[in-house]
Structure 1
């Protein structure tokens, strides 16, 4: 009998365009279990000790898409990821005027995954924050220009982050 990881890998092999959330729903596993079964070239795990450095640097990356999925609904925010600071047990996103606002409970983050997986046939890179139960807390996708091409400076930053993680393992 195949293990859960083997089932996930087989599903991904048979359905290479499937997104992790779709695979998780189909196989009744967590999205984190699916992500951890991605091919090595599609995944790097950022040590949790690097989360503050990452969150401090994200506002410098420029416009991106932040996604939050809850009960089948998907909320997207396009724009720069806001600066933040810790207070009252949260990482508080600081935005003056319009923009993404919120309060992140970073103590609940168990895994930060850097994922490079094509989406609808296009190159795609995202930073995924997972909770203690293997659920996605939020995702940040690299931005695109007017022609839907990834922003090259963001791709370079993402790749450098991924390469740095891979060299540390």
Structure 2
């Protein structure tokens, strides 16, 4: 599902009901319980909580994220939630893949062509503000997410939060 598409009324209703029952829960769990996609849950968040940029912005957003320092890179599948702390390396395209390699534990290959949109998510998660950038696929799921890190006091790192808000706001105004 393209995250820019309208949600069918019955799916929207299920998404809203599920979100109202656990507004600060795991998006993928909320979506599964309502038989909707993660993109449909993000689409019904309160205004400003999910700002969507087009897939054509992949390179410029990735490039900006490489300047944030150590981030939390998260991949959430049905079976695994992999969380990796590291600096996002610059990427390059070759043989149909966006390849990321460098002096970081974050590395590998991304099927960039499967990216349908990029969503800046600013919402409560288990009672605390959480800010992240979700690279969404055409099925309405997150390919991967990049989170603003927390400091030793479990607060969002101020320098990254400023960068997140500036980047999100740039795409909110487009």
What TM-score do the two structures reach when normalised by structure 1? Answer: 0.91
Query: Which residue pairs with 1:109 in the alignment?
Result: 115
Query: Which residue pairs with 2:52 in the alignment?
Result: 45
> d(CA) in 2 for partners of 1:71 and 1:23?
13
- Maintained 8 Å contact 2:75/2:145: yes
One of 52, 61, 64 as aligned partner of 1:54? 61
> d(CA) in 2 for partners of 1:71 and 1:16?
20
> d(CA) in 2 for partners of 1:63 and 1:143?
7
One of 135, 147, 157 as aligned partner of 1:129? 135
> d(CA) in 2 for partners of 1:105 and 1:138?
11
> d(CA) in 2 for partners of 1:7 and 1:135?
17
Distance 1:70 1:14, change over 3 A: closer
One of 131, 147, 156 as aligned partner of 1:150? 156
One of 34, 50, 64 as aligned partner of 2:71? 64
> d(CA) in 2 for partners of 1:81 and 1:150?
18
One of 141, 144, 167 as aligned partner of 1:161? 167
Query: Which residue pairs with 2:97 in the alignment?
Result: 90
- Maintained 8 Å contact 2:54/2:116: no
Query: Which residue pairs with 2:40 in the alignment?
Result: 33
Q: How many residues align?
A: 166
> d(CA) in 1 for partners of 2:138 and 2:172?
23
**SS where residue 71 of structure 2 aligns?**
strand
* Residues 40-83 of structure 1: CA deviation (Å, up to 9, x unaligned): 12110012222101111211101111111223211110121121
> d(CA) in 1 for partners of 2:24 and 2:107?
32
One of 139, 150, 168 as aligned partner of 2:145? 139
Stretches of structure 2 lacking an aligned partner (at least 5 in a row): 1-8
Query: Which residue pairs with 2:31 in the alignment?
Result: 24
**SS where residue 24 of structure 1 aligns?**
helix
> d(CA) in 2 for partners of 1:41 and 1:3?
23
> d(CA) in 2 for partners of 1:63 and 1:54?
16
RMSD: 1.4
- Maintained 8 Å contact 2:18/2:31: no
Query: Which residue pairs with 2:18 in the alignment?
Result: 11
